Amino acid sequence: MCGIVGYTGRQDAAPLLLEGLRKLEYRGYDSAGIAVENDGRLRMVKASGHIDRLEEKTHGGADLPGCCGIGHTRWATHGAPTDVNAHPHMSNDGKFAIVHNGIIENYSALREELRGKGFVFQSETDTEVIVHLLDMYYQGDLKEAVMRTAARLEGSYALGVVCADVPGTLCAIKMASPLILGVGIGENYFASDVTALVSHTKNVIYLEDGEFAELTPESITVYDVAGRPVSHSISRIVWDVEAAEKGGYDHFMLKEIMEQPRAMKAAIEPRIRSGRIVLDDFDDAFKVCFDDVHRIVITACGSAYHAGCVGRTMIEALCRTPVEVDVASELRYRDPIIDDHTLLIAVSQSGETADTIAAIREGKNRGAKVLAIVNVVGSTIAKLSDYVLYTWAGPEIAVATTKGYTTQIAVLSLLAVWMADRRGLLTPERYSELTGGILDLPERTQRAIDLNPQVAYLAERYRDNTSLFFIGRNLDYAVCLEASLKLKEISYIHSEAYAADELKHGTIALIDEGRLVVALACCEALFDKTMSNIKEVKARGAKVLAVTHEGGRRVFAEADDVLFVPVTDPLLAAIPEIVPLQLFAYYVARANGCDIDKPRNLAKSVTVE
């Protein structure tokens, strides 16, 4: 939630800040603002709405000359998305401006204290207390003021500060929110995410929690929580600028759907060598840990939770170890049964989801070892976990995840086979069948993408539905959960995912003439059962769009329309099966004129609980 960026160098800061904010807009897009220091004076402009409005209001940044500044794009938590509540926030005397990503939990008490000392608040935000604290603690030493301020804050923050008294200098400090420093030549940056930096520099420093950095055009100095200088190695971003651009597609979401075969290859191929799964990311310690595991708990939010549901079926089927999947925000509050024989698998694209982080902490406190399946390198979840498997999907910019989700399933499938093999549960024939099937997933995904024109046609035909159902059994049901979420979040059309047989325990009352039911029938063993459920809704007037594999031609007898996805091993069917439904959501949303990459009320990474 929220993106921050800062620049100090020799170029005009404002256009660079606006460019950086555009790259971070996926993190929040209800309002934005920038503040620039020029000759020891700060100027600030804020605007509600998308970055375009800020760009117009500042004439592309030309209204704010100066080579040092900070910017923010917001997803409102405390206070409506108005100009006043937008960041930056300035001190009463105009000496400090700050941008903040995170939540200050003790802001009410701080606000009362500061009001009592005469500070005047302009906004309803939690953030504004920070700038008044800075003002209160500043006695000519910016570093000291920032550190004393940070010591008063409870909650999470990635904070950028500019001060009129110290021209050309930025301060940045973080606690449980992402913050990355970009190392340039004669210029330096900070940002919430490398996407805002990569067109300027590929050299970055990942700050640790509690660390504080002072940036000038020529230097970056990092201090630990006690104010002692610490040295940091510089990491190199491995992907190119184009990976974070639309590359000719109308939307990032469509581009990312199309990128799935490539992303899948990156996740899978390096991990299968000479027919054997090699999880290089692990050391022998994981093998020892896994041999002591009696139970697995998968935790995640949203689509990552849906990937976890697919993972449960795969692991239980192959590894015969009990697996529980729980939404992270629920897991931590229900006194979960987790002990030192539990493996907690946390799944997250961003690696910054607050509830997933909290669930990991809960699991660790109870003795579990934590394995993270994460896309963003150096993210909080990656750092917090005992073992990490990266999904290598590359940057995912569209708010609705696509390649993030499918690569999570690809990695879970590798893990399921690895675990089953470690437990000695697979014959050599089954092992090579499964690894062969996993290696074929990029090609199967491409063939599913080739359904694009047919899906676009069907989306046009069904775009006017106001409420619909996705039904399926077993793995098909897990895929229904994701298909339904995709449609809801970008097209705003109500839909529900139902275990196909469960429908008749009440919800079938909603099936009426012309109601669209999307029936997923790729589970071969349950195909005839799903056919019966299709007949039940047809008998009540529903229109049925079926998704099945090439062997399921008899679905024609019942369905109004059919999408045939490529055949895979039944345990691996989720990936090709979701692809046409991602496209379906995309084309329905597009036909209905929705803002696909920035759906209303959403943000890409949910860093608040």
Question: What's the closest the beta carbon of residue 607 comes to ligand F6R, in angstroms?
Answer: 9
Contact 497, 481 (CB under 8 A): yes
Listed ranges 184-192, 211-219, 301-309, 582-590: which one lies at the site for ligand F6R (CB under 6 A):
301-309
b/e map 577-609, b = 16+ CB within 10 Å? bbbbbbbbbbbbbbbeebebbbbeebbbbbbbe
Listed ranges 24-32, 346-354, 542-550, 585-593: which one lies at the site for ligand F6R (CB under 6 A):
346-354
Question: What's the closest the beta carbon of residue 165 comes to ligand F6R, in angstroms?
Answer: 39
Q: Is 606 in the site for ligand F6R (CB under 6 A)?
A: yes
DSSP reduced 3-state for 204: strand
Q: Is 407 in the site for ligand F6R (CB under 6 A)?
A: no
Among 350, 413, 435, 548, binds ligand F6R (CB under 6 A): 350
Q: Is 246 a catalytic residue?
A: no
- The CA-atom distances, in angstroms, between 551 and each of 361, 440, 451, 522, 578 are 45, 18, 16, 9, 17
Supply φ then ψ for residue 239, to 5 degrees. -105, 165
Q: Is 342 in the site for ligand F6R (CB under 6 A)?
A: no
Contact 135, 91 (CB under 8 A): yes
Q: Is 409 in the site for ligand F6R (CB under 6 A)?
A: no
Question: What's the closest the beta carbon of residue 289 comes to ligand F6R, in angstroms?
Answer: 23
What is the spatial distance between Cα 212 and Cα 135, in angstroms, rounded to a whole number? 18
Interstrand relation of 89-90 and 96-104 (parallel, antiparallel or unpaired):
antiparallel
Listed ranges 25-33, 83-91, 297-305, 387-395: which one lies at the site for ligand F6R (CB under 6 A):
297-305
Closest CB to ligand F6R among residues 12, 256: 256
Closest CB to ligand F6R among residues 38, 192: 192
Q: Is 412 in the site for ligand F6R (CB under 6 A)?
A: no
In sequence order, what DSSP letters do the residues of 121-184 get, joined into one string? Answer: --SS-STHHHHHHHHHH-SS-HHHHHHHHHHH--EEEEEEEEETTSTT-EEEEEEBS--EEEE-
The answer for residues whose C-beta is within 8 angstroms of residue 135's C-beta and 6 or more apart is 91, 92, 93, 95, 96, 119
Among 348, 385, 406, 445, binds ligand F6R (CB under 6 A): 348
From the CA atom positions of the chain, what is the Rg in Å? 25
Contacts with ligand F6R by CB under 6 A: the residue count is 15
Q: Is 484 in the site for ligand F6R (CB under 6 A)?
A: no
Listed ranges 100-108, 122-130, 295-303, 579-587: which one lies at the site for ligand F6R (CB under 6 A):
295-303
Write the interaction track for ligand F6R spanning residues 149-188; mark x where CB under 6 A is met and - where it is not.
Answer: ----------------------------------------
Question: What's the closest the beta carbon of residue 316 comes to ligand F6R, in angstroms?
Answer: 22
Q: Is 401 in the site for ligand F6R (CB under 6 A)?
A: yes
- The CA-atom distances, in angstroms, between 122 and each of 137, 173, 430 are 20, 24, 66
Write the interaction track for ligand F6R spanning residues 219-238; mark x where CB under 6 A is met and - where it is not.
Answer: --------------------
Give yes or no for a cis peptide into 88 (omega within 30° of 0): yes
Supply φ then ψ for residue 122, to 5 degrees. -100, -35
For ligand F6R, the nearest residue by Cβ is 302
Listed ranges 220-228, 257-265, 312-320, 350-358: which one lies at the site for ligand F6R (CB under 6 A):
350-358
For the stretch 55-60, contacts whose Cβ atoms lie closer than 8 Å and that sit 24 or more positions apart, written own/partner, are: 55/18, 58/14, 58/18, 58/34, 60/14, 60/15, 60/18
DSSP reduced 3-state for 363: helix
Listed ranges 1-9, 70-78, 109-117, 344-352: which one lies at the site for ligand F6R (CB under 6 A):
344-352
The answer for residues whose C-beta is within 8 angstroms of residue 43's C-beta and 6 or more apart is 35, 36, 63, 64, 66
Q: Is 421 in the site for ligand F6R (CB under 6 A)?
A: no
What is the spatial distance between Cα 355 and Cα 361, in angstroms, rounded to a whole number? 10
The answer for residues whose C-beta is within 8 angstroms of residue 377's C-beta and 6 or more apart is 390
What is the spatial distance between Cα 486 and Cα 489, in angstroms, rounded to a whole number? 6
Among 30, 440, 489, 577, binds ligand F6R (CB under 6 A): 489
Closest CB to ligand F6R among residues 260, 401: 401
Among 342, 349, 407, 435, binds ligand F6R (CB under 6 A): 349
Q: Is 303 in the site for ligand F6R (CB under 6 A)?
A: yes
Identity of the residue numbered 47: A
**Nearest alpha-carbon partner for 243 in 403, 406, 394, 405:** 394
Question: What's the closest the beta carbon of residue 304 comes to ligand F6R, in angstroms?
Answer: 4
Among 86, 150, 196, 304, binds ligand F6R (CB under 6 A): 304
As beta bridge partners, residue 495 has 468
Among 169, 356, 530, 568, binds ligand F6R (CB under 6 A): 356
What is the spatial distance between Cα 31 and Cα 81, in angstroms, rounded to a whole number? 6
285: region left, alpha or beta (phi > 0 left; psi from -120 to 50 alpha): alpha
Q: Is 582 in the site for ligand F6R (CB under 6 A)?
A: no
Question: What's the closest the beta carbon of residue 75 comes to ligand F6R, in angstroms?
Answer: 12
Question: What's the closest the beta carbon of residue 581 comes to ligand F6R, in angstroms?
Answer: 12
Question: What's the closest the beta carbon of residue 605 comes to ligand F6R, in angstroms?
Answer: 5
Q: Is 483 in the site for ligand F6R (CB under 6 A)?
A: no
Site for ligand F6R in 42-61 (CB under 6 A): none
Q: Is 604 a catalytic residue?
A: yes
Catalytic residue among 23, 95, 543, 604: 604
Query: Structure tokens of 376?
Result: 């963003």
Catalytic residue among 2, 171, 319, 522: 2
Name the residues that contact ligand F6R, by CB under 6 A: 301-304, 348-350, 353, 356, 400-401, 485, 489, 605-606
Q: Which residues are catalytic?
A: 2, 604
